[in-house]
Amino acid sequence: MKALVIAIAALILVASPAMAGQCPLLIKQLNEAVGKMKADDAKVKAAKPLIADAQKLHDGAKHADAIKKCDEAAKVLGVKLEKKM
Ligand SMILES: [Cu+2]
């Protein structure tokens, strides 16, 4: 039982920095995609608050949630995000 807890804790420690670096990359890709689209495009209007939320979540160290928001924004924009593994 203890080993499992330690294993999970280790996994989180290993996973967090990778995820922390991931969100700015995703947010950058989303902002670039938005930059190529018209500002009054309904997709852009829908995606912008999601990107802002992702940035806020990232700033609050909630990287997994931020990545989920980025995925949502990408779906709205119809773009594919390049994720580093
Ligand atoms: Cu982050």
Q: What value does the mean pLDDT take over residues 11-29? A: 79
Q: Which helix (H) or strand (E) holds 38?
A: none
Distance in angstroms (rounded) separating the CA atoms of residues 79 and 8? 33
pTM: 0.78
Ligand 1 centroid to Cα of residue 60, in Å, is: 8
Residue labelled with tokens 């499992």? 4
- Domain definitions of the chain by residue range: 2-77
Ligand 1 centroid to Cα of residue 84, in Å, is: 13
Ligand 1 centroid to Cα of residue 1, in Å, is: 30
User: Of 41, 48, 39, 36, whose CA–CA distance to 74 is shortest?
Assistant: 48
Tally the residues of the chain.
Answer: 85
Q: Read off the pLDDT of residues 47-81 as tens digits, 9 standing for 90 and up.
A: 999 999 999 999 999 999 999 999 999 999 999 99
